[in-house]
Structure 1
Amino acid sequence: MIVGASAAGISAALALRRLDYRGTITVVDGDPHPPYERPPLSKALLDDTTGGLVPIVPWSTYADLEIDLRLGERVTAIDPGALKVHLGGGEQLDVDRLVLATGVTARHLALPHADADNVLTLRDATDAARLSAQLARGGPLVIIGAGFIGLELAAVARQRGIDVTVVEAQPRPLANIVGPEVASLVVDLHRGHGVRLITGATVERFAATGSTVEQVVLSTGHRLDTATVVVGIGVQPRTELGTSARVDVDHWGFPVNEFGQTSRAWIFAAGDVASQAHPHLATRGRLEHWDTAQRHGAAVGSTVAGEPVRYKEAPYAWSDQYDATLQIIGRPRGTDQVVIREGATPQRFLAFWLRDGRLAAAAGMDASREIGIARRLVASTVLVDNAVLADAATDLRALLKPHRPRSPEQLAG
């Protein structure tokens, strides 16, 4: 059984069948919609979102592969002694291998009126539909939190002519992900498109009339008029089933080993809810993005099918920003040497992070080709020179070629 029809959960199910797993596969999820891709939700909000969901795979695939989808149902408890899973309707299902792909849920502000009709979050199709309807009425829009979702939403709203203010508690948005240099370029991009960005500020209170928030009052004294508030202040792992399953839980989610096993060997965790000791993380943590969730889910599915796979690939993430895409390979660390390629602008740039002389991470705006090559460089662990990386004339493909030592005959010649 797989709990969660997420990118990780569906990838695990598909991997099982690809490896000729003969057992029953049941996927349970509380979301009633057929499994869909989540990244587009924040990229086309003002469209008919629930009618235009992008399926992970065609609906017919599940019948073809004999994957039983139990949508609109919730797992309420796991009985590890009896090897049973309890559903919300009272049904109990037998299980001998369990994959928890429950993902994460949005954090909420603990303030009066935080549950007002026009204070929203964005995690699933239902959220997106509500937000689409709300934004169709116009602005102003106030976004609390300048993470990927917040900035993507700001870009979409600005392209529709909506007045947008983004409030961020940190001095620079995304600085903890891409460092201050790249963060400054992203900030300039949004300000250039008319986004009002207020940093170093938190929400002090909401001013509301009835069930509608009309002003957001900040710790800096700013009072922001608003028609819609979107709260994007981070996520928390959905680990509620850990208690009944009697598996370990930490700050990040379900701690897993390199094969995705939790503290109970027959229970696995995949995707955003997995707390991993990954080689590209300085410490144990989550790797949150669609591509990573798919790859981790596939690795866990392979392990359950009897072909163990260690998940250790460099994580990849992307974020659509106006007419360009920000792509990130690897995870930069504060101790890395940062190299910004010559000619960087907010609309197009390329950044590298060197660790012990090797490429550990890269980020680029409107630089898909270069990031594709950088991904191979990160995997190759070849030694690279910072000046060579900074030179806009350098063809990154040349750095992939092995530098073979010269023979004595060559040296003599």
Structure 2
Amino acid sequence: MTRSSCVIVGASAAGVSAAVRMRRMDYPGTITLVDVDPRLPYERPPLSKALLDEGTAGLVPIQPAETYRDLDIDLRLGARVVEVDPARLTVRLGDGDVLKSGRLVLATGVRPRKLTVKGADATNVLSLRDAADAGRIGAHLGRGGPLVIVGGGFIGLELAAVAVDRGIEVTVVEAQPQPLTHVLGPDVAALVTGLHREHGVRLLSGVTVAGFLGPAGRVEEVRLSDGRRLPAAAVVVGVGVEPRHELARSARIDTDDHGIPVNEFGQTSRAWIYATGEVASQFHPDLPRRGRIEHWDAALRHGAAVGSTLAGEPVRYTDPPYAWSDQYGATLQLIGRARPTDELVLREGAAPGRFLAFWLRHGRIGAVAGMDAAREIGVVKRLMAAGVLVGREQLTRSDTNLRALLKARSTMPGSRLAN
């Protein structure tokens, strides 16, 4: 009998998680994990939370090197997949090596979207996706500011906090009326941006970049759409991402604006090919329609679900998305996705440095966000999983014991917590 084989393209959270889950569920075939990055697969979230020196120092491995060896996972690092042959079920690498692939998993992720204005290709106009990017940004910040960040998403604001902590003058340019409004809504977003203003970050909203000015190959000023000019020693662009789905297209797999469409088990339009992580365009209970979930925890869980499916035990990924962001010594945590029809409930005493916000949906918590509220978030996660009915007044009051609500539910006959 020919031994089954699986090639996984992309050794970030989703790809590694799929490979490890397959082997730990006794997948009998070969598993080859391919990535163009030569470094041992590492965690990406710390890159924007604490910039690293270029190289491997300070990188946190997703799994120790011995795990891949012990689980018989063949790591092909520093290798690029250049072709998928759907007729022969093979994958060709840049060095000419051809891998048999009875199953193929695309965990190719996303790339930062680039600006198309004049000067956007200057050496000090940067983006952040991998360790090399983090090293370049760290090197530029080591020379001092000012720093202009284009885009007030999680990565942009985390970088702002890191730069401020280093004594660098920071300006954040955001096209929307307020950073993070699309994720947190205007009231909660105002608390987060208030924290940055308290630390001296200059936030300019409702404007875009019209161009970069300076000598050839280097930016010294950022010109905004309203005519203002900002001095800049470095610029970091964080205006969203786009899927890396070129291999899918070359293999004649269906793609869409979000990435690679998959079914509930991560399977693409070709039955032998799966996609997982940020490149997967999926249906999920917390998404209003098919789309991407761009969080590290989600990538780990979706990768594990796809790995389980490939090992013979199909699993659907339906967990509420979890995200976190470290800013000025506090951690912003978010579970679930708020919907336009949800009712926002802010707990008493909400302030930029500490708050707890709930989104009520049919009497239950549909999503929650908290700054410096890790203990409460842990309890709320269990309330959400148990589907506990709660009232607005209970959540608003700061003296409400959330654990008591959970305990009361756990003692009810038929409760999921009691069983």
> Alignment partner for residue 278 of structure 1, among 262, 275, 284?
284
Q: Distance in 2 between matches of 1:406 and 1:126?
A: 53
1:312 counterpart SS class? coil
Moved over 6 A (4+): 404-407
1:174 partnered with 2:180: yes
1:244 partnered with 2:244: no
Q: Distance in 1 between matches of 2:55 and 2:373?
A: 28
Q: Distance in 2 between matches of 1:94 and 1:138?
A: 50
Contact 1:30 1:72 in 2 (8 A): yes
Give how far 1:350 is off.
Answer: 0.2
TM-superposition CA deviations, 1:37-93 (whole Å, max 9, x none): 000101111556632111001111111111011111111111111101111122211
User: What do you get for the CA RMSD once the two structures are aligned?
Assistant: 1.5
Give, as a single letter, the amino acid of the residue that structure 2 aligns with 1:126: A
In structure 1, runs of 5+ residues without a counterpart are 408-413
1:230 counterpart SS class? strand
Q: Distance in 2 between matches of 1:111 and 1:50?
A: 33
1:206 counterpart SS class? strand
TM-superposition CA deviations, 1:233-259 (whole Å, max 9, x none): 000010001122211101111111111
> Alignment partner for residue 293 of structure 1, among 278, 282, 299?
299
Q: Distance in 2 between matches of 1:405 and 1:359?
A: 20
Partner residue in 2 for 1:115: 121
> Alignment partner for residue 406 of structure 2, among 397, 400, 408?
400
1:20 partnered with 2:26: yes
Partner residue in 2 for 1:371: 377
Contact 2:54 2:136 in 1 (8 A): no
Give how far 1:284 is off.
Answer: 1.0
Q: Distance in 2 between matches of 1:319 and 1:78?
A: 36
Give how far 1:400 is off.
Answer: 2.1
1:39 partnered with 2:41: no
Give, as a single letter, the amino acid of the residue that structure 2 aligns with 1:220: D
Partner residue in 2 for 1:211: 217
**Structure 1 pair 152–49 and aligned structure 2 pair: CA distance change class (3 A):** farther
Residue correspondence of structure 1 range 318-329 to structure 2 within 5 A: 318-329=324-335
Contact 1:165 1:198 in 2 (8 A): yes
Partner residue in 1 for 2:416: none
TM-superposition CA deviations, 1:110-156 (whole Å, max 9, x none): 11211111000000011111111111000000000000000000000
2:348 counterpart SS class? coil
Give, as a single letter, the amino acid of the residue that structure 1 aligns with 2:295: H
Q: Distance in 2 between matches of 1:315 and 1:365?
A: 17
Alignment coverage as a number of residue pairs: 407
> Alignment partner for residue 228 of structure 1, among 234, 243, 254?
234
Q: Distance in 2 between matches of 1:233 and 1:225?
A: 20
Q: Distance in 2 between matches of 1:237 and 1:119?
A: 21
Partner residue in 2 for 1:410: none
Residue correspondence of structure 1 range 141-220 to structure 2 within 5 A: 141-220=147-226
Give how far 1:403 is off.
Answer: 5.3
Q: Distance in 1 between matches of 2:117 and 2:412?
A: 68
- Identical aligned pairs, as a percentage? 66
Contact 2:262 2:274 in 1 (8 A): yes
Partner residue in 1 for 2:309: 303
TM-superposition CA deviations, 1:5-46 (whole Å, max 9, x none): 010000000001110111100001111111000001011115
Give, as a single letter, the amino acid of the residue that structure 2 aligns with 1:3: V
Give how far 1:306 is off.
Answer: 0.2
2:254 counterpart SS class? coil
1:51 counterpart SS class? coil
The normalised TM-score by structure 1 is: 0.96
In structure 2, runs of 5+ residues without a counterpart are 1-6, 414-419
Q: Distance in 2 between matches of 1:149 and 1:278?
A: 24
**Structure 1 pair 136–313 and aligned structure 2 pair: CA distance change class (3 A):** same
Give how far 1:406 is off.
Answer: 10
Q: Distance in 2 between matches of 1:254 and 1:330?
A: 22
Contact 1:112 1:206 in 2 (8 A): yes
Q: Distance in 1 between matches of 2:412 and 2:247?
A: 60
Partner residue in 1 for 2:364: 358
Partner residue in 2 for 1:315: 321
> Alignment partner for residue 2 of structure 1, among 8, 25, 37?
8
2:245 counterpart SS class? coil
